[in-house]
């Protein structure tokens, strides 16, 4: 019962606050954004896609953590090692699966022509769609609560760190989603959008792996000239930013990185949509 | 209401629209005719602001489509060629969505949806998922979407495509009715449609307007407009032709493709300004020569003839 009260205080209230802030922000946005957001969110739940993704994500993330990655054996009341460390690996697949339909489906159905001849700026569409997919991902993370409940039941973890782990995970998933938004604007095939996005997200994630980072930093010989390019890609890598935040080190630089990454991707989406029409 | 000046569009090196200009006033229905790939859909897509023009200007009710995009778009209702729809929605939800996006005030949305559903005969499928609709219903749902906000300008790309003959008739009547208070452009392959609902028509071929006028004016431009078809029995053909060509009302004669089994059939072209007297003169001549008059009919000219004449000669170049 005590664990339950702690959970309520440490997690339910922040979730409620975030939701309330989101709903208020939504009311302040233009009506077109809200209308597209509503339509998009409804369509996630009228088709099986959201449910399938929820089940797959929760089974994989919670199941693996419990049975293979040793949350029970570790003897530590912390979630970073057994849980958060692995979450982005699943999200490399799950976030593009959530976002793949955003623009490619509009192109396949031809509804892009309807949408773009309505009196709205493409920005309304880009934002409305992104927010709807972001809410789906948010719901996924909220539904991961059994693992948090378990760890609180078993021990006495630092829930602040766990919350920060969720924040880091959410930011990474939003970045993956933003990448998918750009890619899905380029193709009318959901499958192509999914595969290309997964590839890019995986690259963005892998490039931050310590061995790869070391390799880039110490490159010599005939390929030394590629160093600036590789360093640029390395600077886009998400793992360093994620790791800091997920371990509970709240650094404004990491947050700024995530937000700018998302904004740049959304701008790129609008550029792709414009170029496609011309 | 719609003012298009010197519109060009090229896709790479291919010129799809090559200097099209026209205006459509309130109360006018302009028909777009032309072979496939002539540039009709591309022109409409530029007018609705979906495609940017390579060159030229488009103004809708005084708002420039490129400079004042949102104002221009809010005056237009658009039915794209393939009638695209969000197939995961119901008809009613989709129309509600369209009304909201089109800026219909919140309190008037229900009324607007009801009206559009009634106008396009969708009552039966109102709560049905769009996925499960037949082609005709899908088409009408998209049509309903285009009129939901009661726009001043309607752009309809093949609005009767995929409808059965009764529905085609209904839609033509609807366009004609709405044309009294709006400026409408619609494209079609069906020439009788132009006669049934347009006040004016243009024929587009290879990105250019090659004919422009009211349906009657266009019909009169066709080669056989004003000629007479004559069918006679009991006279020698060569003699008759000679006699006919002597008449002052006649310019020339031509044979008619073998449509008739009996008698002699001829097409007779009148001399300039003598069209009205031709029939009487021909009838008199035939009687004088002792022939039996089987048929005598004046041709008004036909749009499909004109269409074939001018788009064919172009293609043979």
Q: What is the pLDDT along chain B (317 residues), one digit of tens a residue?
A: 899 999 999 988 888 899 899 999 999 999 998 888 888 999 999 999 999 999 999 999 889 988 888 999 999 999 998 899 999 999 999 999 999 999 899 999 999 999 999 988 889 999 999 999 988 889 889 999 999 999 999 999 988 877 788 888 888 888 888 889 999 999 988 878 888 888 999 988 888 888 888 878 877 777 777 788 888 887 777 888 888 888 877 788 777 776 666 777 888 888 877 777 888 888 888 888 888 888 888 887 777 777 777 776 554 44
pTM above 0.80, yes or no: yes
For residue B169, give how far its alpha carbon lies from the nearest alpha carbon of chain A (Å). Answer: 25
Distance CA B114, CA B116 (A): 6
Contact B127, B94 (CB under 8 A): no
Cβ neighbours of A129 in B, within 8 Å: none
Contact B185, B2 (CB under 8 A): yes
Confidence of residue A277 (pLDDT cuts 50, 70, 90): confident
Residues above pLDDT 90, as percent of chain A: 50
Question: What sign has the CA pseudo-torsion A216, A217, A221, A227?
Answer: positive
Confidence of residue A75 (pLDDT cuts 50, 70, 90): low
Instruction: Kindly state the average pLDDT of the residues A198-212.
Output: 88
For B2-221, which CATH class? alpha beta
Quick one: pLDDT at residue A71?
59
Cβ neighbours of A120 in B, within 8 Å: 70, 73, 101
Q: What angle do CA A194, A196, A197 make, to 5 degrees?
A: 65
Chain centroid to Cα A141, Å, comes to 10
Cβ neighbours of A110 in B, within 8 Å: 80, 82, 84
Quick one: pLDDT at residue B217?
80
In sequence order, the β-bridge partners of residue B17 are B9
Mutate to test the interface with B, among A104, A117, A129, A276 (most CBs of B within 10 A): A117
Backbone phi, psi, residue A32, to 5°: -60, -40
Quick one: pLDDT at residue B316?
47
Distance CA A79, CA B105 (A): 50
Provide the 3-class DSSP secondary structure of residue A251: coil
A35 in contact with B at a CB cutoff of 8 Å? yes
CATH number of the domain located at residue range(s) B228-299 in this protein? 3.30.70.1340
Choose the closest CB to B86 out of A111, A113, A278.
A111
For residue A150, give how far its alpha carbon lies from the nearest alpha carbon of chain B (Å). Answer: 38
Are B103 and A119 inside 8 Å of each other by CB? yes
For residue B159, give how far its alpha carbon lies from the nearest alpha carbon of chain A (Å). Answer: 15
Cβ neighbours of B76 in A, within 8 Å: 117
Q: Which residue of B has its CA nearest to A107?
A: B84
Per residue in A119-163, pLDDT (tens digit) is 998 899 999 999 999 999 999 999 888 888 888 887 778 888 888
Quick one: pLDDT at residue A68?
64
Per residue in A5-37, pLDDT (tens digit) is 877 888 889 899 999 999 999 999 999 999 999
Cβ neighbours of B158 in A, within 8 Å: none
- The kind and range of the H/E element at B288 are helix B275-288
Between B193 and A93, the more confident residue is A93
pLDDT over 60 (residue A199): yes
Contact A135, A53 (CB under 8 A): no
Quick one: pLDDT at residue B232?
84
Q: CB atoms < 10 A from the CB of B299, how many?
A: 15
Q: CB atoms < 10 A from the CB of A74, how many?
A: 12
Are A114 and B48 inside 8 Å of each other by CB? no
CA-CA-CA-CA dihedral for A155, A158, A162, A164, to nearest 10: 180
Distance CA B301, CA B215 (A): 10
Q: Which residue of B has its CA nearest to A32?
A: B101
Q: Which of residues 120-179 of A touch B (CB under 8 A)?
A: 120-121
Quick one: pLDDT at residue B219?
77
Quick one: pLDDT at residue A257?
93
Contact B224, B267 (CB under 8 A): yes
Distance CA B120, CA B130 (A): 15
Q: What angle do CA A185, B45, B149 make, to 5 degrees?
A: 95
Give the domain ranges of chain B: 2-221, 228-299
A117 in contact with B at a CB cutoff of 8 Å? yes
Q: Which residue of B has its CA nearest to A45?
A: B88
Q: Which residue of A has its CA nearest to B149?
A: A118
Are B88 and A47 inside 8 Å of each other by CB? yes
Q: Output the CA–CA distances (angstroms, integers) from residue B62 to B23, B57, B186, in the order listed.
A: 12, 12, 21
Quick one: pLDDT at residue A98?
94
Give the domain ranges of chain A: 2-277
Dig out the tokens for A75 from the structure: 């003897």
B183-187 and B29-33: which strand pairing? parallel
A275 in contact with B at a CB cutoff of 8 Å? no
Quick one: pLDDT at residue A81?
67
Distance CA A118, CA B48 (A): 9
Dig out the tokens for A192 from the structure: 């192509």
Enter the DSSP assignment of B34: -
Contact B29, B21 (CB under 8 A): no
Rg (C-alpha) for chain A, rounded Å, is 20
């Amino acid at each position: 019962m005590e664990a339950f009260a702690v959970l309520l205080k440490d997690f339910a209230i922040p979730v409620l606050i975030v939701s309330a802030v989101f709903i208020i922000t939504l009311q302040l946005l233009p009506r077109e954004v809200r209308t597209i957001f509503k339509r998009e969110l409804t369509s996630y739940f009228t088709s099986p896609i959201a449910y399938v993704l929820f089940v797959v994500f929760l089974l994989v993330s919670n199941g693996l953590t419990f049975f293979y990655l040793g949350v029970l054996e570790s003897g530590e009341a912390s979630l970073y090692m057994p849980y958060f460390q692995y979450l982005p690996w699943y999200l490399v697949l799950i976030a593009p699966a959530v976002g793949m339909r955003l623009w490619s489906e509009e192109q396949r159905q031809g509804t892009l022509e309807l949408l773009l001849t309505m009196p709205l700026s493409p920005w309304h569409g880009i934002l409305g769609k992104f927010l709807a997919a972001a809410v789906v991902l948010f719901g996924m993370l909220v539904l991961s609560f059994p693992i948090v409940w378990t760890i609180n039941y078993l021990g006495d973890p630092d829930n602040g760190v766990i919350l920060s782990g969720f924040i880091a995970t959410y930011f990474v998933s939003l970045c993956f989603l933003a990448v998918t938004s750009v890619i899905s604007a380029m193709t009318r095939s959901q499958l192509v959008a999914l595969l290309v996005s997964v590839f890019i997200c995986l690259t963005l994630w892998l490039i931050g792996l310590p061995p790869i980072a070391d390799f880039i930093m110490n490159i010599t010989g005939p390929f030394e000239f590629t160093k600036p390019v590789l360093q640029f890609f390395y600077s886009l890598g998400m793992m360093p930013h994620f790791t800091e935040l997920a371990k509970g080190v709240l650094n404004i630089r990491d947050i700024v990185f995530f937000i700018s990454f998302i904004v740049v991707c959304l701008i790129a989406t609008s550029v792709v949509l414009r170029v496609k029409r011309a | 209401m719609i003012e298009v000046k010197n519109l060009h569009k090229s896709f790479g090196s291919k010129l799809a629209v090559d200097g099209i200009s026209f205006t459509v006033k309130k109360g006018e229905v302009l028909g777009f005719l032309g072979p496939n790939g002539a540039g009709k859909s591309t022109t409409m897509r530029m007018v609705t602001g979906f495609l940017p023009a390579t060159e030229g200007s488009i103004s809708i009710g005084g708002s420039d489509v490129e400079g004042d995009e949102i104002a221009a778009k809010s005056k237009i209702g658009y039915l794209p060629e393939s009638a695209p729809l969000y197939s995961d929605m119901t008809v009613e939800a989709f129309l509600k969505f369209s009304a909201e996006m089109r800026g219909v005030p919140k309190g008037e949305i229900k009324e607007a949806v009801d009206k559009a559903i009634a106008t396009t005969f969708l009552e039966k499928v109102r709560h049905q998922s769009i996925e499960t609709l037949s082609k005709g219903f899908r088409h009408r749902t998209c049509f309903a979407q285009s009129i939901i906000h009661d726009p001043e300008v309607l752009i309809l790309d093949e609005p009767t495509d995929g409808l059965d003959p009764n529905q085609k008739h209904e839609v033509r009547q609807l366009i004609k009715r709405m044309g009294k208070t709006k400026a409408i452009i619609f494209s079609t392959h069906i020439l009788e449609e132009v006669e049934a609902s347009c006040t004016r028509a243009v024929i587009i071929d290879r990105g250019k307007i090659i004919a422009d006028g009211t349906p009657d004016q266009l019909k009169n431009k066709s080669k056989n407009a004003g000629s007479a078809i004559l069918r006679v029995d009991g006279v020698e053909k060569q003699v008759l032709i000679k006699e006919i060509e002597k008449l002052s009302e006649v310019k020339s004669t031509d044979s008619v493709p073998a449509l008739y089994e009996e008698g002699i059939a001829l097409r007779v072209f009148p001399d300039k300004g003598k069209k009205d007297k031709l029939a009487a003169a021909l009838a008199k001549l035939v009687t004088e020569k002792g022939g039996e008059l089987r048929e005598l009919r004046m041709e008004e000219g036909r749009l499909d003839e004109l269409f074939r004449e001018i788009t064919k000669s172009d293609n043979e170049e």
